[in-house]
Structure 1
Amino acid sequence: MRIVVSGTHASGKSTLIADFARRHPEYLVLADPFELIDESDDRPAAAMFASQLRIAAGRLIEGESGENLIAERGPLDFLAYLLALDELGRTVLDRSTLSSAADRTRTALATVDHLVVLPLTAAHPIHVGDDEDAALRETMNDVLLDLLDDSDVIPAGLTVTEVTGSPAERLARIETLIAEPRSSERG
């Protein structure tokens, strides 16, 4: 079973994956690609997100298809960040770059069984400090949710599930997913 957990920054991904890994040591945990890049300046920038997209896609495409894994972030996250930066007017993306990023994202997601998305919700807010980029966080969340309906990015047959609730409720939902046969669902 191959699971990717997606969401904007400070949406609960690390907590969910840590809780899942404690209960399921048979799963390989792929850390957030941010931890794998050498960036002396960690301010959000298009080049940084493009690099993380390549890492996130590459490790899914090149990994063994039969292995149990759970990844913190996939290429879809970084495509959403790139589009969010563009929407916020912080970068200008050309069609070629976007097309290449979308193709790589789709190819990588075709190797995944479950895409779990943690949307921001008013019912279960996660408060962040002033050092977080609130505008980017919200815009990325909105763009990510919009991308879930984009057939140029999301391959047919990929199970996509939006998971909300407390940390315990989120963990229980993922455990239900891995016990169920594959089917596309949202909610």
Structure 2
Amino acid sequence: MRIVVSGTHATGKSTLVADLADALRGHTVLGDPWELVDEHLPPSSAESFVEQLHVAADRLLALEPGERVVAERGPLDLLAYLEALRALGRGGVTVDATTGLRSLALRAHSHVDLLVVVPLAGTHWLHVPDEEDPDLREAADTALLDLLDDDGVVPASLAVVEVGGDPRRRLANVLARLPR
């Protein structure tokens, strides 16, 4: 099963990915694309998010049906960050670039069996320091949830589950959606 865990920063995605890796023996974990981009790029810049989107998409496009992976972040996350930057007046990418990135995201999402979304709602139990850029966090969450309904980004055939609550509940909700 090819699973992608999506959400804005500081929502517990890494914890859920680790919990899924423990529960789903034999699944390979694909870490956050941020770990694979040029370290000289400003972390919350359009350039960084575009590069991360390419990393996230390329690794999904390389997957064969039946591969067993759990990926932290997918193209949807990075498109949401680009939308959030634009909404906050912090730059972004051109319309032509956005069109190409949306097309890439759609192709990559067609290589996913389950998209797990971890929204901000229900993360009150997490302490998030101010340096985590709460405005960007909230704007990216809003954009991500809006993009879920966009069939130009997320194929209508893709199984999507939104999970909330504490880590145990989130894991249980995802495992309940998997084939036996």
TM-score range, shorter chain: over 0.9
Q: CA deviation at 1:140?
A: 0.1
Q: CA deviation at 1:17?
A: 0.8
Q: CA deviation at 1:23?
A: 2.0
Stretches of 4+ aligned residues off by more than 3 angstroms: 122-125
Unaligned runs of 5+ in 1: 181-187
Q: CA deviation at 1:124?
A: 3.8
What CA deviation, in whole Å up to 9, does each residue of 1:120-157 have, x standing for no partner? 11564422112111100000000000001111111121
Give the match for residue 17 of structure 1. Answer: 17
Give the match for residue 114 of structure 1. Answer: 114
SS of 1:4's partner is strand
Cα separation, 2, equivalents of 1:154 and 1:125? 29
The percent identity for this pair of structures is 49
Q: TM-score, normalised by structure 2?
A: 0.95
SS of 2:132's partner is coil
Q: Assess if the C-alpha contact under 8 Å between 1:124 and 1:166 holds in 2.
A: no
Give the match for residue 3 of structure 2. Answer: 3
Q: Assess if the C-alpha contact under 8 Å between 2:57 and 2:104 holds in 1.
A: yes
Cα separation, 2, equivalents of 1:2 and 1:49? 22
SS of 1:179's partner is coil
Matched, 1:50 2:17: no
Name the aligned partner's letter for residue 127 of structure 1: H
Q: TM-score, normalised by structure 1?
A: 0.92
Give the match for residue 75 of structure 2. Answer: 75
SS of 1:89's partner is coil
Cα separation, 2, equivalents of 1:108 and 1:124? 31
Cα separation, 2, equivalents of 1:125 and 1:110? 33
Give the match for residue 146 of structure 1. Answer: 146
SS of 1:144's partner is helix
CA 22–123 in structure 1, closer or farther in 2 if over 3 Å, else same: closer
Q: Assess if the C-alpha contact under 8 Å between 1:124 and 1:164 holds in 2.
A: no
Stretch moving more, 123-132 or 53-62: 123-132
Q: CA deviation at 1:25?
A: 2.2
Aligned length: 180
CA 172–138 in structure 1, closer or farther in 2 if over 3 Å, else same: same
Unaligned runs of 5+ in 2: none
Cα separation, 1, equivalents of 2:96 and 2:41? 26
Cα separation, 2, equivalents of 1:149 and 1:100? 18
Q: CA deviation at 1:44?
A: 0.4
CA RMSD in angstroms, aligned pairs only: 1.4
Cα separation, 1, equivalents of 2:153 and 2:58? 16
